[in-house]
Amino acid sequence: MKLSTLKCLKLLADPTRLRIVLLLHSHPLSVVELQEILGMGQSRISTQLSLLKQEGLVTDQRSGKNNIYQSELPDELLTIAQSAASELPESAKDVAALRHLNRKRKDKARAYFDELAGKFGKNYVPGRSWKALAEALLKVMNYEVVADLGAGEGTLSQLLAQRAKHVIAIDISPKMVEFGKNLALQNDLPNLEFRLGEIEDVPIANGAVDLAILSQALHHAEEPSRAIAEAYRILKPGGCLLILDLAKHSFTKAHELYSDRWLGFPEGELAEWLEQAGFLEVETAIVDRETKAPKLQTLVATARKGK
C-alpha cells in the first residue's frame, strides 16, 4: 500500500495520534496497554487506531483475545514525527509509562516462571535435575576465554573449563587459589588457571576475555562499581559480563556469618553502575526467591561491551 504523505502528515498533526504511533514504533501494544499508558478511554484510542490503520500507518495482528498493534511509519515520516513529539509535554511521560509497562510485563513473566521453578525437582522425573540442566547448557557455551572473578575454590570455574578454551579464576585468598590449583590438577583441567588477586584490581590484561563472571562475589567488594569497571576493562569488544548476586535485603547477620560487605543490591543501582562503566544492553532480573527465612532473592544482571 502506497502511503499518501499529505494524508499521513494530516493524521500525525493530531497529538493523540502522534503519541500512539510513536509508542507503537517503540513497542507493539494492545488497546488495553495503550489505555494504561495514555490514560484515555478505549473508544477514543480505538477510533484513532482505526484512522491510522486505514492510512497504513499501523497494522494489527490477533494474539489470543487481543489485537496487537505496531507502527508502519516510514523512516522519512518517523524523523518528522519524533521532532514534532519533542514539542509535546506528554512525550516524556509516555516513554516513562511504556518503560513501567515493560517492567510489569517482565515481572508477570518472572512470577509465572518462579511458580514453575518452584515445582521443578519436587517430583521425581528420571534424568531431570538442575545439575543436569546446568551441565547441558554449559555444553553449548561458546566463549573461548572466561574470567571467573571471585572464584573461591573454583566450583563454577571447573564447570566452565569443560567447554571454554581457557578459564582464569581470580580470588583474593591464597589458600583458595592453592586449593583450586590442586583441584584443577587432580581433575586434569590444564585450561583452568588460578590467579591471586582482587576483583577491584584484576590481574588480567586489557581486552583479554570473552566472558567475565561475578558470581556471588560483588557483595564482598569494598567498591562494587570499581569491580564492574574492572570487568569492563578486561573484556574484549563485544564481550559479555554476567553478574549473579543477591538482591537488596535486610538480613544483617550476613555481615557476620558470610563476611558480606553489602546486603545485596537494588536492580536499579546495579544497572546504573553497569551503564556508568560503559556497558550496553544492560538487563537485570530477580530469578529466584527463597520461601524460607531470610527469604533472600537472587539477582542476575547481564551486559555487553561495545564493539
**Same domain membership, residue 157 and residue 103:** no
Q: Are 53 and 7 in contact (CB under 8 A)?
A: no
Domain extent, residue 61, equals 5-119
Question: Residue 43 phi/psi, 5° resolution?
Answer: -65, -40
* Sign of the dihedral defined by the CA atoms of residues 221, 224, 230, 231, in that order: positive
Rounded to whole angstroms, the Cα distance separating 35 from 197 reads: 53
Name the domain count of the chain: 2
pTM to 2 decimals? 0.61
**Same domain membership, residue 143 and residue 72:** no
**Same domain membership, residue 219 and residue 150:** yes
Print pLDDT tens along the chain (307 aa). 567 888 888 888 999 999 999 999 988 899 999 998 998 899 999 999 999 998 889 999 887 678 889 998 888 888 899 999 889 988 888 888 888 887 777 666 556 555 655 565 566 555 656 666 676 777 667 889 999 999 988 888 998 998 899 999 999 999 999 999 998 999 899 999 999 999 999 999 999 999 999 999 999 998 999 999 999 999 999 999 999 999 999 999 988 888 888 999 998 889 999 999 999 999 988 888 888 889 999 899 999 999 8
**Same domain membership, residue 171 and residue 98:** no
**Same domain membership, residue 223 and residue 182:** yes
**Same domain membership, residue 181 and residue 204:** yes
42-54 helix and 15-26 helix, angle to the nearest 10 degrees: 80
**Same domain membership, residue 134 and residue 267:** yes
- Last residue of some domain: 64, 99, 119? 119
Residue 56: which region, alpha, beta or left (left: phi > 0; alpha: psi -120 to 50)? left
Rounded to whole angstroms, the Cα distance separating 36 from 105 reads: 13
Q: Residue 224 corresponds to which amino acid?
A: P
Q: What is the CATH number of the domain that holds 25?
A: 1.10.10.10
Rounded to whole angstroms, the Cα distance separating 227 from 201 reads: 7
Rounded to whole angstroms, the Cα distance separating 154 from 192 reads: 9
- Last residue of some domain: 60, 87, 119? 119
Q: What is the CATH number of the domain that holds 298?
A: 3.40.50.150
The pLDDT of residue 217 = 93
**Same domain membership, residue 36 and residue 108:** yes
Rounded to whole angstroms, the Cα distance separating 258 from 94 reads: 44
The pLDDT of residue 102 = 77
The pLDDT of residue 200 = 94
The pLDDT of residue 265 = 92
**Same domain membership, residue 97 and residue 142:** no
**Same domain membership, residue 286 and residue 145:** yes
**Same domain membership, residue 19 and residue 156:** no
Pairing mode of beta strands 192-196, 209-215: unpaired
Does 124 fall in a domain?
no
Q: Residue 216 corresponds to which amino acid?
A: Q
Determine the 3-state secondary structure of 256 from DSSP.
helix
- Last residue of some domain: 89, 119, 149? 119
Does 125 fall in a domain?
no
